[in-house]
Structure 1
Amino acid sequence: MEEAKKAKVYRMSRILIVEDESIIRTALRRLLERNSYAVDDAGSVDEATRQFNLNEYNLIISDLRLPGAPGTDLINLAKAVPVVIMTSYASMRSAVDAMKMGAVDYIAKPFDHDEVLDTIANIIKLRGAEDKSTQTTSETAAPPSTNQMVGTCKPMQDLFRRIHKVARTDATVLIQGESGTGKELAARAIHQQSARADAPMVSVNCASIPETLIESELFGHEKGAFTGADSARSGLIEAADGGTLFLDEIGELPLEAQARLLRFLQENEIRRVGAVKSTHVDVRLVAATHRNLKALAKTGEFREDLYYRLYVMELQMPPLRERGEDIIVIAQQFLQKSCDKLGSRLLKFSHDACQTMIRYNWPGNVRELQNAIERAVILADDHTITTDLLGLDIEPGSLAALESNFASGNSLVAETGENASERRPEQNLSLDDYFQRFVLENQDNMSETALAKKLGVSRKCLWERRQKLGIPRKPK
């Protein structure tokens, strides 16, 4: 009976652990064996290559720092077998370097059991393990890691700490940041870490609902409240009762809906369109916008009292271009997800592609990165994603180059003969400040083409930066 059970285990997915600390090695082995994996282990790269045939495994998990050769040597020795690198939180930069060398993922020590199992299950599924019935149930029970925020840079670590603090309260949260930076992921993290995690989280994109329907969608309506209201209907705020309401692009709400929303925040009550009585609701509000609500409040486009009611706790999402080598970690996750979605073999990024992704300006942020990688997976003919396959609009005079010049203290633009004196950035002004000042001072006398040429960017880049900074074009 025991022999039959053992034979069954060894028909399962096989994993090799390479770890010199016996306590960690034993704990990880027991975790995997409890979840129906067949496991071998070794204390060094040399021991692993002498005792085992690396190509017989579905996955190798190795510590980064080992006696003798480092764990990254297994990436080339194992050839087609995926390698996951283990490292401490204090050595996350080394984990990023390992992924550049071809590691498919990393595990941070001390490791979380569920995260380890999810990572392993996703990798083995992607590699086409023959007996899918032997994979852990956590593969379907937990969301994939690509739906979680990741980041080791200081802005992201600060963000994670603030999310953890604010999640334990019921305070209203305003998430600000450029389009595509992952504001909804931050909202979900707040909800999942809160006491409301078992209740629903309802997400609403205020910009996608017609202005005539927004109040009905949010607050519901009674039968006969307006033409076409054939029956009573509860709104999205009621649907979130007990949980969290996420209002994305809240700056697009019309003023009438803003007044209703303010009452909801003040009284914890809503009144359906056409109703006489109010209904009490218990809903935590998280809002997000890429617009400057304070500036909109000053111009009367957004209610000032609502702005201050929302501004209890602010979270700022850093743009992708400021996240350094986090970009590679995120790209690896998107690559794994795209390969899985498209049924492709597991690919890897070339060194040049990694460097390009780090240097690129990413005006579309994480969303642009995801689309670029999915496009590259579709077009790839071999196992490597090159820079060309990413299809990024990189120009010698791009805004990324301007930012590099700005950081080194060079002038923002080449001056005209009339402004021959060199204009250096002042320490208290940002690149965006200087960009905005130059455009506003010169757009009355220069065409868009001339402005873009003088700034050293394409018309497309000029338009994107106008959108980001809210700089209107001159009236024709």
Structure 2
Amino acid sequence: MPHILIVEDETIIRSALRRLLERNQYQVSEAGSVQEAQERFAISSFDLIVSDLRLPGAPGTELIPLGEGKPVLIMTSYASLRSAVDSMKMGAVDYIAKPFDHDEMLQAVARILQDRRPPASQPAAERAPAKPSEKPATPGANGEIGIIGSCPPMLDLYSKIRKVAPTDSNVLIQGESGTGKELVARALHNLSRRAKATMISVNCAAIPETLIESELFGHEKGAFTGASAGRAGLVEAADGGTLFLDEIGELPLEAQARLLRVLQEGEIRRVGSVQSQKVDVRLVAATHRDLKTLAKNGQFREDLYYRLNVIALRLPPLRERGADVAEIAGVFLARQTARMGRPGLRFSAEAESAIRHYGWPGNVRELENAVERSVILSEGNEIPADLLGIDVELGEMEGIDDFLGLPAQPAGSNNASQDPNEDLSLEDYFQHFVLEHQDHMTETELARKLGVSRKCLWERRQRLGIPRRKSTMANES
């Protein structure tokens, strides 16, 4: 069993992280400072050291030499991201930004420990990457890709990831917010020849425009007010590895020009410097915006767009993934019940129906939050639909199922005979029925025929972009 040392001065964070790791079969010791860790433990005896960067007394980077080659994972707030990059140059194996979610931490720990495991002790399946033609052993888990779902669009995406990952081609991941674009980027990195190097993730929308060039490309001493020392940028920190730029559509035009130089020439120039330096970086970018349209409107460099768009991967929104929604909800429920010690907790029939038929505009992120909220608030052995916190009235979706003669399907089931586009066909039916009958039916009559409430009818009109006709509104008054 791997033995991990946590060094964190915040008691709540340290205790929560210890419990998380222990529940996942790791042996854990903890300390509140570097000095306490030195006094209590032989630091080099641990398999992994997870430390906050800012600690009372010596910083967490002091554990790097004390570990005598053992991997050190640095935890840092986003405001200290630059310092985290510096710590990696000092020998930290990776960093993780606070606040992190549990899955992110577990993935980082597992990846680091696996990389450090002697090759002879690794199972063959872990040593050898899957061939592009191979399919995952279990479609829902998708093995080395680490993404849940087995609908046709996702299976096509997994196939493309396996083909693209071993190359150094730039990749543009397109998809709505919350669809899991960073998971795709991580899969591309983990299946590439750069897997043992660093993947630096940057949310371009989260960095102030005045700082983004300095953050990405670094700066020299005196380059601007407050630049008291030269600093490396995040592109430089990703040298030899992968740079993931999320929401690249938010990147200012001047920074786009600098990024284009990285892609064309393989070199960067720090802000305030006249000298360039070579970098070897694979770029993976993601956006929820239409970059082609932005380029036509002069809001995004057209030459950069074509450099990025070598390989384009589209992540479908959750509403287009059919039965995957129930499967993903089931996985999230299992994770949350394990984390919170609620074995046996399950969705009620109404909650399952709401999960299947709600549009999930926030996609997988919204679904995960809804499941977590429901587990926290639930009191019995079943989760009622109202605890999901979504705008679906109880029973109204079952009314549509009855009206269409569709059987209910429990969450988490994976019936191969089920049409994975069932939700899409349901939406198509709804749209067709409303457009056909709204000229001679009131909203009340439409809702009654569809077996839903007027509130649900209005919400689905909004989501599908079907405005009420003036004649219909007049009939209601």
Alignment partner, residue 155 of structure 1: 153
**Distance in 2 separating the partners of 1:139 and 1:174:** 24
The correspondence for 2:325, drawn from 316, 324, 327, is 327
**Distance in 2 separating the partners of 1:272 and 1:162:** 35
Moved more, 328-337 or 167-176: 328-337
Q: Normalising by structure 2, report the TM-score.
A: 0.56
Alignment partner, residue 242 of structure 1: 240
Deviation at 1:352, TM superposition (A): 3.2
Aligned pairs (5 A) from 1:15-414: 141=113, 148-394=146-392, 404=426, 406-407=428-429, 410=432, 413=435
**Distance in 2 separating the partners of 1:197 and 1:299:** 37
Deviation at 1:226, TM superposition (A): 0.3
Unpaired segments ≥5 residues, structure 1: 1-34, 36-121, 123-136, 421-452, 467-476
**Distance in 2 separating the partners of 1:454 and 1:414:** 20
Alignment partner, residue 32 of structure 2: none
Alpha carbons 1:402, 1:412 under 8 Å: kept: no
Alpha carbons 2:392, 2:456 under 8 Å: kept: no
Assess, with a 3 A threshold, how the Cα gap between structure 1 residues 356 and 458 changes in structure 2: closer, same or farther.
closer
Cα root mean square deviation, aligned: 3.5
Q: Which amino acid aligns with 2:426?
A: S
Alpha carbons 2:266, 2:280 under 8 Å: kept: yes
**Distance in 1 separating the partners of 2:114 and 2:391:** 36
**Distance in 2 separating the partners of 1:319 and 1:356:** 17
**Distance in 2 separating the partners of 1:226 and 1:338:** 47
Alpha carbons 2:322, 2:424 under 8 Å: kept: no
Q: Which amino acid aligns with 1:238?
A: E
Q: Which amino acid aligns with 2:349?
A: H
**Distance in 2 separating the partners of 1:299 and 1:345:** 53
Assess, with a 3 A threshold, how the Cα gap between structure 1 residues 345 and 455 changes in structure 2: closer, same or farther.
closer
Deviation at 1:403, TM superposition (A): 7.4
**Distance in 2 separating the partners of 1:279 and 1:366:** 40
Deviation at 1:407, TM superposition (A): 4.4
Q: Which amino acid aligns with 2:237?
A: A
Deviation at 1:389, TM superposition (A): 1.9
3-state SS of 2:325 partner: helix
Alignment partner, residue 457 of structure 1: 458
3-state SS of 1:215 partner: helix
Deviation at 1:202, TM superposition (A): 0.4
Alpha carbons 1:376, 1:390 under 8 Å: kept: yes
Alpha carbons 2:220, 2:271 under 8 Å: kept: yes
Alpha carbons 1:362, 1:369 under 8 Å: kept: yes
Deviations 1:431-464 (CA, angstroms, capped at 9, x unpaired) = xxxxxxxxxxxxxxxxxxxxxx9995349956x9
**Distance in 1 separating the partners of 2:217 and 2:110:** 37
Moved more, 284-293 or 337-346: 337-346
Q: Which amino acid aligns with 1:410?
A: H
Deviation at 1:164, TM superposition (A): 0.4
**Distance in 2 separating the partners of 1:243 and 1:460:** 46
3-state SS of 1:329 partner: helix
Alpha carbons 1:202, 1:236 under 8 Å: kept: yes
**Distance in 1 separating the partners of 2:326 and 2:341:** 22
3-state SS of 1:301 partner: coil
3-state SS of 1:259 partner: helix
Assess, with a 3 A threshold, how the Cα gap between structure 1 residues 401 and 322 changes in structure 2: closer, same or farther.
closer
**Distance in 2 separating the partners of 1:320 and 1:209:** 28
Structure 1: which 4+ aligned runs deviate by more than 4 Å?
137-143, 400-403, 411-417, 453-456, 458-462
3-state SS of 1:242 partner: coil
**Distance in 1 separating the partners of 2:371 and 2:273:** 49
Alpha carbons 1:184, 1:248 under 8 Å: kept: yes
**Distance in 1 separating the partners of 2:256 and 2:250:** 10
Alignment partner, residue 90 of structure 2: none
Deviations 1:7-52 (CA, angstroms, capped at 9, x unpaired) = xxxxxxxxxxxxxxxxxxxxxxxxxxxx9xxxxxxxxxxxxxxxxx
Alignment partner, residue 42 of structure 2: none
Q: Which amino acid aligns with 1:176?
A: Q
Alpha carbons 1:413, 1:455 under 8 Å: kept: no
**Distance in 2 separating the partners of 1:387 and 1:455:** 15
3-state SS of 2:231 partner: coil
3-state SS of 1:282 partner: coil
Amino-acid identity (%): 58
Assess, with a 3 A threshold, how the Cα gap between structure 1 residues 373 and 141 changes in structure 2: closer, same or farther.
farther
Alpha carbons 2:318, 2:360 under 8 Å: kept: yes
Alpha carbons 1:373, 1:390 under 8 Å: kept: yes
Q: Normalising by structure 1, report the TM-score.
A: 0.56
Assess, with a 3 A threshold, how the Cα gap between structure 1 residues 293 and 407 changes in structure 2: closer, same or farther.
farther
Alpha carbons 1:406, 1:412 under 8 Å: kept: no
Alpha carbons 2:375, 2:383 under 8 Å: kept: yes
**Distance in 2 separating the partners of 1:180 and 1:188:** 15
Deviation at 1:332, TM superposition (A): 2.0
Deviation at 1:284, TM superposition (A): 0.3
Deviation at 1:415, TM superposition (A): 8.9
Alpha carbons 1:375, 1:389 under 8 Å: kept: yes
**Distance in 2 separating the partners of 1:279 and 1:329:** 48
Aligned residues: 295
Deviation at 1:269, TM superposition (A): 0.4
